[in-house]
A and B are shown apart, each in its own frame.
Chain A
Amino acid sequence: MIAEPDIANVAMTTPGGAWLIAALVWPVIAVLLTIVGGGRYAARIAIASMPVGLAVSVAIAARVLPEGDALVYLVGGWAPPLGIALRADALSAVMMLTTAVVISGAGLFAYADFGPKPGEPETRTSLVFWTLLIAVWGAMNLVVTGHDLFNLYVALELLTFAAVPLVCLDGRAATLAAALRYLMFALLGSVLYLLGAVLLYGAYGTLDITLLAARVQPEPAAWVAAALMTAGLLAKTALFPLHLWLPPAHAGAPPAASAILSALVVKGSFVLIIRLWFEVMPALWSVAATQLIAALGAAAILYGSVLALRQQRLKLLIAYSTVAQIGYLFLMFPLAFDPATAQLQGGVALTGGVLQTVSHAFAKAGMFMAAGLIASSLGHDRVADLAGVGRALPMSLIAFGLAGVSLVGLPPSGGFVAKWLLLSAAVSTGQWWWATVLVVGGLLTGGYVMLVLIRAMGTVAESAAPLKPVARSREAIALAMSLCAALLGLLALGPVELPTFGTSGVATAVAEVGP
């Protein structure tokens, strides 16, 4: 049953592969330094290490994106199946760049909340925040570059352990409960993923993605493993109906942490779903499986959007919007399914899905930051009482609106190009029902964005208490995040060719081995 390892298929360290090690090592060094530095220096150490992380991510993207050739590094020089490979393809590079920009933005945004304050003693909260911020970055880098299923399990756990405490930084009972509920879902997801990985090892004798792709056969062991791993990853990605933990967790965290959680952390497990479905076992899925997962996505879009419309608090509204936007990510699976070869193929639909991942990351980061500024200025975040915000905090409101433009999918935003690609894939494959979902979801999204904007544009009586001022620089960071989302489409439509996200080498290997 177990095929001999195909030596030609085994990866070798490519020139520049050592950058992958740099991407994993610098966060560890930075985290250790923040712990040594303590609450007083944590913020400065974390901020100072961010340019390093940005530079490493840019260096990797500059090597991977132009040619589309993946960077590979064999840890310790040991080739799989005994050793562990790290691999950065176009998807990894794009996710690393997004992570770098969003976390750097969130770090600068959070300096006012968690930075050292003259004349005040150092706090534990500040130390924990900066340590975890860099830890999330490191875990994301490992999640997107790991090429071994067990290595990826450890990466997922690192991401979870770094993300969950961010929810309950303020230590209130409500946020502790939210964090605990998040952890329970995440632990269930981890054990299911691990069980699937163990079954795959038992059946095929390797955990390396490239080797597995060549060996996996459509048979019960692979089906059970795939179902377990997908279910586990869906719990971490918060796809409907496993989203219950997300709204209280994302809405209760401090604004910078909410931005990270909504923009990046749920995407980490989504990247693994892409790896599993498109790279490890593209030929394993039936039409029914792809339709089912997209149906869950469609339910998430409708349910999340309707609940967002009904929320009374701004941060919960944005959190339910995340539930809905996650749904869009799963619409790509039936659209990427090629009935002729009966396997998932990279192409327009996958590119649309990845673009939606990235543009939602920037939009949601900008939106949560803007909402945090609005809440700190008003002293509350009740949607019904937002009147006067438009006059007092125009920049924050524009940031919110621009992020909304991308979520709705209006040109020239990244969300527009993403949804356009998905829509055209739906039309060209004759799956009109997903096109309907895309359009209805866009309308509902427009509804809850406009609801906030209209309320915030309202005028208040002159005698009303003045709003607390917020720093212009923090508004600018929120605006920059939203602008990234809103202008991403120009980049994609204009001079820059969209990188092809695909499974070139892996897919052909499977085609040769497959039935």
Chain B
Amino acid sequence: MSTVTLFGLCGAVLIGLGLYGALTHPQPLRKLIAFNLLGSGIFLLFGTIARRGAWNAVGGDPVPQALVITGVVVAFAATAFAVALLLRLFKESGEATLDPTAPVGAPPGRPES
């Protein structure tokens, strides 16, 4: 098995794990970690694609590398934002869960009067 294939498979496994975690865990923090796992898998896959694109005496396709850097920045910003939101929710309500059993049709807050 070539290195490129190995890394590609690793990326696929990470994506699968991340997707599984994101869909099955109701806790926001776990979902967030799963998203990061999924994101890392995508970046690894993209790196593999860049390496596979090595031809004409170029060691690798430079475009995916540039895109991965941007992607990492975006994923970092998203994670920081979600954690900030989660911390604030914990401070306000004392819990860090989104109850999946709560009826969606229920009003988000009690009527003011």
Binding site for B on A (CB under 8 A): 81-82, 150, 153-154, 157, 161, 164, 168, 171-181, 183-184, 187-188, 190-191, 194-195, 198, 201-202, 205, 244, 247-248, 251-252, 307, 310-313, 316, 379-382
Alpha-carbon gap, A247 to B102, bound state (A): 13
Answer whether A82 and B63 are a contact pair too, CB < 8 Å, given A176-B92, A195-B15: yes
A67 to chain B, nearest CB (A): 34
The residue among B15, B39, B85, B86 with the most chain A CB atoms within 10 A of its own CB is B85
Instruction: List residues of chain B with CB within 8 A of the CB of A176.
Output: 85, 88-89, 92-93
Further contacts, 11 of them, CB under 8 A, given A188-B35, A201-B46: A154-B74, A157-B77, A157-B78, A176-B93, A177-B89, A180-B28, A180-B85, A180-B98, A187-B78, A198-B46, A316-B107
Instruction: List residues of chain B with CB within 8 A of the CB of A177.
Output: 89, 93, 98, 108
- Residue B9 at the chain A interface, CB threshold 8 Å: no
Alpha-carbon gap, A175 to B108, bound state (A): 7
Q: Across the interface, do A164 and B81 meet the contact criterion of CB distance under 8 Å?
A: yes
Instruction: List residues of chain B with CB within 8 A of the CB of A175.
Output: 108-109
Considering the complex, give the chain B residue whose CB is closest to the CB of A194.
Answer: B42
Instruction: Select one of B35, B67, B107 contacting A191, CB under 8 A.
Output: B35
Considering the complex, give the chain A residue whose CB is closest to the CB of B95.
Answer: A173
B42 to chain A, nearest CB (A): 5
A167 to chain B, nearest CB (A): 10
Considering the complex, give the chain B residue whose CB is closest to the CB of A247.
Answer: B104
Binding site for A on B (CB under 8 A): 15, 18, 22, 28, 31-32, 35, 38-39, 42, 45-46, 49, 52-53, 61, 63-64, 67, 70-71, 74, 77-78, 81-82, 85-86, 88-89, 92-93, 98, 104-105, 107-109, 111-113
Q: Across the interface, do A179 and B52 meet the contact criterion of CB distance under 8 Å?
A: no
Instruction: List residues of chain B with CB within 8 A of the CB of A313.
Output: 107, 111
Alpha-carbon gap, A316 to B64, bound state (A): 43
Answer whether A247 and B105 are a contact pair too, CB < 8 Å, given A157-B78, A187-B35: yes
Answer whether A173 and B89 are a contact pair too, CB < 8 Å, given A150-B70, A195-B42, A198-B49: yes
Top 7 closest pairs, chain A to chain B, by CB:
A173-B93, A202-B49, A173-B92, A174-B108, A176-B89, A174-B109, A248-B108
B48 to chain A, nearest CB (A): 8
Considering the complex, give the chain B residue whose CB is closest to the CB of A244.
Answer: B104
Alpha-carbon gap, A176 to B82, bound state (A): 11
Instruction: Select one of B35, B70, B92, B112 contacting A379, CB under 8 A.
Output: B112
